[in-house]
Amino acid sequence: MNRFSRGIVVLAIVTALLSASSGLYEDWLWFKDLGYPQLFWTPLLSKWIIQAVNGTILFIFIAGTLLSIRHAIVTFVNERLRSRLRLVHDMDRPVLTLSQRRVTVWLIVISAVISLAVSFVAGFTGWLDVLSFFHSTQFGKADPIFGKDLSFYIFQLPFFITLYNAFYGPLFLLTLLTGVFYVVTGVLRFHSLRLWRQGAIEIGPAARKHLALLVAVLFAFRTFGYFLNMYQLLYSKHGQVIGPGYTDLYATLPALKILIVLSIIGLFAAVLGIIFRDSRLLTLPVTTVFIMGTVLYVLFPSLIQSFIVTPNELAKEAPYIANEIAMTRYAYGLDKIQEQDYPGNKIITAEILKAEQATLNNIRLNDTRPMLQTYTQKQGIRLYYKFNDIDVDRYTVNGEYRQVMLAARELSTPDLDANAKTFINLRFKYTHGFGVSASFANAVTPEGLPAFAVKDVPPVTDYPEFKLTEPRIYYGELTNDWVVVNTTNKEFDYPQGNVNAENNYQGKTGIFMSPLNKFMLSLKHGTLRFYLSGEVNSQSKILLHRNIKERVQKLVPFLKFDSDPYMVIDNDRVKWIMDAYTTSNTMPYSREYGEQNFNYIRNSVKIIIDGYDGTVDFYTSDKTDPIIKTYQSIFPGVFKEVAEMPSSLKSHLRYPETMFTIQSNMLKIFHMTNPTVFYNKEDAWDIAKELFGAKPQNVDPYYTVMKIPGEANPEFVLMLPFTPASSATNTRNNMIAWMAARMDGDNYGQLLLYKLPKNIEIDGPLQIESRIDQDPEISRQLTLWDQKGSSVIRGNLLAMPIGGNFLFVEPIYLQSDKGGSIPEMKRVIVAYQDQLVMTETLGEALTNIFGQNAPQPTTPGQSIPVPSPARPETKPVEPIKPSENISQLIDQINQIRSMLENLENQLKGLQTAPEGTRS
């Protein structure tokens, strides 16, 4: 190889190494830019140290074993195969000759490769277990069997299991292969299968000592493994109990203790086998542990379960069912739920409704499901602007507490015209979304569309609470690509007539494109455009990981994240709030949640991401959670106390719907605390159901502003109704309870469960849906709309607890079957006890049910309207005054038409009203 060729090879190797390290270099720049270098260095150094320690120990064992059989290998190859592997034309020279030195080199290389591979996996997956072990925090609560603090199972036991798995598997395989090698090479010979007889096995002294040493080490690890298995019984899933039941404690646990004793005896026997020549010191303990393990650990518990427990299961398992109930309720926070009785059948009067004015003002008529399409059609502005979803929050507007729907207008580069998808446009030009759209929960235009409180580009609003001085969104739910900002060409800002407004990024985050950074980032992203385009200079910045979910996942991968981050307007700019959870799958006696692989969860972290510059702040929202305390110790300076959060942001914290859903699903059976009732599932619940798309589905938890029973002021809550569990032969849809999560001020996180009387039946949402379908007038109108080129969309059926009873409200939307049409809210259905009405507005419905004195819902800035009459009144129609202005004439015609429609509806109401209420 000449000098030029060597240079090419060296250059290729250097380039490959730089390319491989460019990702690590980029990550270091990114973590440092966000102010979290500890989140980069702590995991990285921990993995390296763990891999080094684990790899070194394994290397010593593997290399020591292989080098000890080095002579046997050389002898086997050079002597045993010599007679079989000769060339025909050269009978005197062996085909294969191995030198001691060559064998040594290869054995060391093999040992290094195996130990490196095993240690890489151990370090990559077990680093957090190791750090949590050294920084563990006490729970202050003990398990009911061994009396150990729960921190042992959350932090210490996983570390011990990681340690055991890192060594036992490779050493077992090594011992097995060594024994096989000795058998193949003839060093180990079996003369009889009666291993307890003297002379049944013939083995050389060196091989005997070698195997004895390996067997002794294996027995030491197996003793440790059986010890860990004792505590892992607390995750057992035998019979009807999650956790150790009768069989585990009276059969499996004693068996494990016996196996521990036998393994210790085997360890001492193997040590003696190094000194004495009797091979039975090795064979008898191994055989005994194997046979006893099969009989005691497998067969004996099965017999106990089948013949003792199963015939009398409840009596045997009742104490352990109680343990499962208590620990599962603790693991999911169900033990903190405050239970109260709710009558559900009190009479609601107009006076009671007046005390619930704030609740009426926030009944959500704008359903988020059809409303997303409306936002896209009315406020998308351009094809490349997109609303990912609609978030529900609350704001104090004009001194009133209001539920608000908001959506961020993000830039979706996949929706750009195909000809516009150039490298310059995708990476340098189209970099950010612009502004938000917002509407109040109950504000609907005469056309049935949401009345926007914030609209257009640039954002326009009449409410100071929604003003945006920095409406640009560089970081969101749809920003999936990296971009380079502050180039020589300005970025597209927003469309403005025949020209586009342009702007430059002024945020404090982003990696500067210095010469070294530019070179390494070019290698990382596999592009030369940073050099060829000419737009990139030393003041340019690259913005990475702009999708907020990906962003926080990369920062703190040891947390689980809510699937629905939500946006808020704070200090005149867009910010995202994301909920994060600490979880564990090693909580004793606790049932796992579905297929999610956890049996303990806390909503311990609130994450704030700035939509403009991407800065990320982590706040601990659960001071009682030992897992987040442990993470705070591992990563100092990352997690701030929630008290440090600005009050303007704290007022927008929501109880996460994901957490509430998990707790609600677990509560369906774990509200039963009596073991007998729990075992028989006598009082099991289910999530209430509603109709959507003509199909029953579980009611989604919904946010609303309402007065909690017994409280003076309205609050933002998350609530969900429950019904009795149904079977294949018995369907029950009456409401049996409802749960609410509070989230305002010091009440944040309180869960309230209101149980309804069991001796009366109160309609659930699906029963109300059935009544709607069975009402002749309502059913006729919905059927008529649903067959003339349009589709009826039934919104969320909201069960609103008011005055000791329930008010059910369901908005009805009408959408044309033609493409691109917008759902319009045309009617509101309200149900109260045996009364059911469908009107154009919520106010009309309340008047029809509760009379002329019923209060009317209002929107911010709107005075309380005069209630519409409960019965038709004869009123002379004012003559139309001549007008030369055609628009005034049209307005007068529309006014008369509206009066006639109102009169027609009131006459229909009279016809369907009970005779006792007519006059």
Contact 325, 694 (CB under 8 A): no
Among 796, 774, 809, smallest CA distance to 697 is for 796
Q: Is the pLDDT of residue 95 over 60?
A: no
Q: How confident is the model at residue 120 (pLDDT cuts 50, 70, 90)?
A: confident
Q: What are phi and psi of 781, to 5 degrees?
A: -70, -45
Residue 282 token pair: 């090795």
848-to-444, 765, 837, 919 alpha-carbon distances in Å? 20, 21, 8, 14
| 689-703 confidence digits (pLDDT tens) | 998 767 888 999 999
Contact 703, 441 (CB under 8 A): no
Q: How many CB atoms lie within 10 A of CB 104?
A: 15
184-to-80, 179, 181, 205, 291 alpha-carbon distances in Å? 11, 9, 5, 17, 26
H/E/C letters for each residue in 116-127?
HHHHHHHHHHHH
Residue predicted with more confidence, 407 or 860: 407
User: What's the confidence (pLDDT) of residue 209?
Assistant: 86
User: What's the confidence (pLDDT) of residue 29?
Assistant: 97
Distance CA 802, CA 346 (A): 9
Average pLDDT, integer, range 845-861: 89
End-to-end Cα separation, the chain, in angstroms: 111
C-alpha neighbours within 13 Å on the C-beta side of residue 350 = 15
Q: What is the pTM of this model?
A: 0.87
DSSP state of 643: G
- Tokens 């030393």 found at: 538
Q: Which residues contact 287 (CB under 8 A, 6 or more apart)?
A: 195
Highest mean pLDDT among 186-200, 626-640, 851-865: 626-640
Of 184-188, 318-322, 365-369, 451-455, least confident by mean pLDDT is: 184-188
| 21-54 confidence digits (pLDDT tens) | 899 999 999 999 999 999 999 999 999 998 888 8
User: What's the confidence (pLDDT) of residue 816?
Assistant: 86
DSSP state of 195: T
Contact 138, 149 (CB under 8 A): yes
Beta pairing class for 737-742 and 201-203: unpaired
Average pLDDT, integer, range 435-464: 93
Q: How confident is the model at residue 915 (pLDDT cuts 50, 70, 90)?
A: very low
User: What's the confidence (pLDDT) of residue 191?
Assistant: 63
Q: Which residues contact 796 (CB under 8 A, 6 or more apart)?
A: 364, 367, 369, 690, 699, 700, 702, 810, 811
Q: What are phi and psi of 91, to 5 degrees?
A: -75, -15
Residues belonging to the chain? 919
Q: Is the pLDDT of residue 727 over 80?
A: no
- The separation between CA 112 and the C-alpha centre of its own chain, rounded to angstroms, equals 39
Contact 428, 491 (CB under 8 A): yes
Q: Which residues contact 825 (CB under 8 A, 6 or more apart)?
A: 365, 366, 444, 448, 449, 795, 811, 812, 813
- pLDDT averaged over the chain? 87
Biggest CA–CA distance in the chain, Å, is 130
Of 164-178, 647-661, 822-836, 855-869, least confident by mean pLDDT is: 855-869
Residue 642 token pair: 């929630």
Q: Cβ-count burial of 112 within 10 angstroms (0-12 exposed, 13-18 middle, 19+ buried)?
A: middle
Q: Is the pLDDT of residue 502 over 50?
A: yes
Distance CA 267, CA 92 (A): 49
User: What's the confidence (pLDDT) of residue 695?
Assistant: 81
User: What's the confidence (pLDDT) of residue 73?
Assistant: 72
User: What's the confidence (pLDDT) of residue 288?
Assistant: 86
Average pLDDT, integer, range 475-481: 96
Q: Is the pLDDT of residue 514 over 80?
A: yes
| 530-583 confidence digits (pLDDT tens) | 888 788 998 999 999 999 999 999 999 999 999 999 999 999 999 999 999 999
H/E/C letters for each residue in 491-514?
EEEEEECCEEEEECCCCCCCEECC
Our separate counts of H helices and E strands in the chain read 27, 36
| 788-829 confidence digits (pLDDT tens) | 788 898 988 999 999 999 999 999 999 888 777 889 999 999
Residue predicted with more confidence, 633 or 90: 633
Q: How confident is the model at residue 872 (pLDDT cuts 50, 70, 90)?
A: very low
Q: Is the pLDDT of residue 705 over 90?
A: yes
Q: How many CB atoms lie within 10 A of CB 501?
A: 15
What percentage of the chain exceeds 70 in pLDDT? 89
Q: How many CB atoms lie within 10 A of CB 884?
A: 6
Distance CA 873, CA 840 (A): 19
Among 452, 435, 441, smallest CA distance to 374 is for 452
Contact 893, 882 (CB under 8 A): no
Distance CA 559, CA 556 (A): 6
| 802-811 confidence digits (pLDDT tens) | 999 999 999 9
Contact 822, 834 (CB under 8 A): no
Burial readout 577-604 (b: 16 or more C-beta within 10 A, e: otherwise): bbbbbbbbebbbbbbbbeeeebbbbbbb
Cα Rg for the chain, rounded, in angstroms? 36
Q: Is the pLDDT of residue 93 over 70?
A: no
Among 664, 562, 554, smallest CA distance to 606 is for 562
Q: What is the per-residue DSSP string for 52-64?
A: HHHHHHHHHHHHH
H/E/C letters for each residue in 846-915?
HHHHHCCCCCCCCCCCCCCCCCCCCCCCCCCCCCCCCCCCHHHHHHHHHHHHHHHHHHHHHHHHHHHCCH
Distance CA 76, CA 283 (A): 25
Distance CA 805, CA 803 (A): 6
Q: Which residues contact 563 (CB under 8 A, 6 or more apart)?
A: 658
The runs of H, that is alpha helices, within 405-476 are 423-424
C-alpha neighbours within 13 Å on the C-beta side of residue 796 = 24
Distance CA 29, CA 483 (A): 16
C-alpha neighbours within 13 Å on the C-beta side of residue 462 = 8
Distance CA 835, CA 775 (A): 11
H/E/C letters for each residue in 716-763?
EEEEEEEEECCCCCCCCCCECEEEEEECCHHHCCCEEEEECCCCCCEC
- The separation between CA 661 and the C-alpha centre of its own chain, rounded to angstroms, equals 11
